[in-house]
Structure 1
């Protein structure tokens, strides 16, 4: 099942929430740079409140740099940071909103091209019979998110699926054009390499799973058990 955020069931058995440009590419890179966990915030106010209670946490939002926030939603800029052991609070327009919409899923994975193969591998390992793919961008119409979701679904069926056609769709997407235009206009929260980084495929070996912890939805790198007890 492929759906946007408004049409997503509240508690699917297995959900894969996709945000290629840029929330879950940022998340994948945050873990690569050593982050321990990512806490999803519903609002900017909540993100800043969490930061105020935990001054060592790093707050991240999309858009231009904003007072109180430590990071912008740019994977290219994140690649140079040392995040070892840190907690990141993330609030974005599409990705985190999509994850929060299906927070009661039995298994909730967050994905981008960077972790597409790992996500497909996780779905195979848990033997998921039905998966709800949540396309977060543009009200469920984002071509880059839909292409990534379809690539993951194809990788579940056959591990040697060719990412080329899916990446071509993402490269031509409205989101890619919007980021390129932002670079031309000098938007402060966009890096010239963001689109290229978002299109790097199967970069990291771990899927990313979100679970509830202490009243918050928290994302961590995740690998399923070798021999699941039952099908998802």
Structure 2
């Protein structure tokens, strides 16, 4: 399997297989939302679009990154997510890194969104799909986020060796600029940041599902992909569960 590690692409051409990585914190939040029973996540390109979708669909929730914004239900914190009942709910998510990266490669034949908590399950999907090449999209810091690159490289190594040790990759993520900013936000008491976010973002292989995105009625929709779901073929798209 050939691997390419890149930032969010600026061209409209999508790769055959893409893994979009956002560790701190979009796709850690997404994974925890599915773990707590959310049905699906719809990606929005702007905050205005996210709030419009929420307004048109009573019962939907809206998540965004940065400081809390009126109208949104969560500011991208996995720890704060525990205070919300998301069972059976649809979530609209808009972030400057993770969801932007996914939307940039929305037409990939197989599109997976990943963080450390679903890294092993993501690697297993790739192992079963046996693609010739995989593009890993490193979304943070303009494609230079060490925590996202470390997670991407861990997933690639897990495809080659199921017993790959996550510890060195987690150590790199723990020393990253993204981790430092998150820790600084905790020290400063920033709204939308929880002291437990870091630990929740740096837990490897916590969940048995990957996360696959596909277009549904013109929207890019993310769902959990479990081991017992129909798997993607060598060149075919993922078939999300639920």
1:127-206 matched pairs, under 5 angstroms: 127-206=130-209
- The answer as to 2:7 corresponding to 1:4 is yes
Query: When the two structures are superposed, what TM-score results if normalisation uses the length of structure 1?
Result: 0.96
- Change in Cα spacing, 1:55 to 1:231, as seen in structure 2 (3 Å) is closer
- Number of corresponding residues: 232
Asked if residue 90 in structure 1 is aligned to residue 88 in structure 2, the reply is no
For 1:218 and 1:24, the matched residues in 2 are separated by: 13
Tell me the SS of whatever aligns to 1:134.
strand
Cα offset, 1:81, TM superposition: 2.9
Q: Is the Cα–Cα contact under 8 Å of residues 135 and 141 in structure 1 kept in the other structure?
A: yes
Q: How does 1:4-83 map to 2 (within 5 A)?
A: 4-6=7-9, 10-83=13-86
Shift of 1:80: 4.1
For the Cα contact (< 8 Å) 1:113–1:199, is it kept in 2? Answer: yes
- CA root-mean-square deviation: 1.5
- Which string of whole-angstrom CA distances, capped at 9 and with x for unpartnered residues, describes residues 51-76 of structure 1? 11012100000112211111110011
Write the distance in 2 (CA, Å) between the matches of 1:214 and 1:120. Answer: 28
What residue is the counterpart of 1:207 in the other structure?
Answer: 210
User: Which sections of structure 2, spanning at least 5 residues, go unmatched?
Assistant: 237-242
Residues 204, 168 of structure 1: alpha-carbon distance in 2 compared, 3 angstrom cutoff: same
TM-score (normalizing by structure 2): 0.92
Q: Distance in 2 between matches of 1:124 and 1:159?
A: 10
Equivalent of residue 113 in structure 1, options 101, 116, 126: 116
When residues 119 and 184 of structure 1 are mapped into structure 2, their CA distance, relative to the original with a 3 A threshold, is same
1: CA distance between counterparts of 2:232 and 2:98?
28
Any conservation in 1 of the 2:116–2:203 contact (CA below 8 Å)? yes
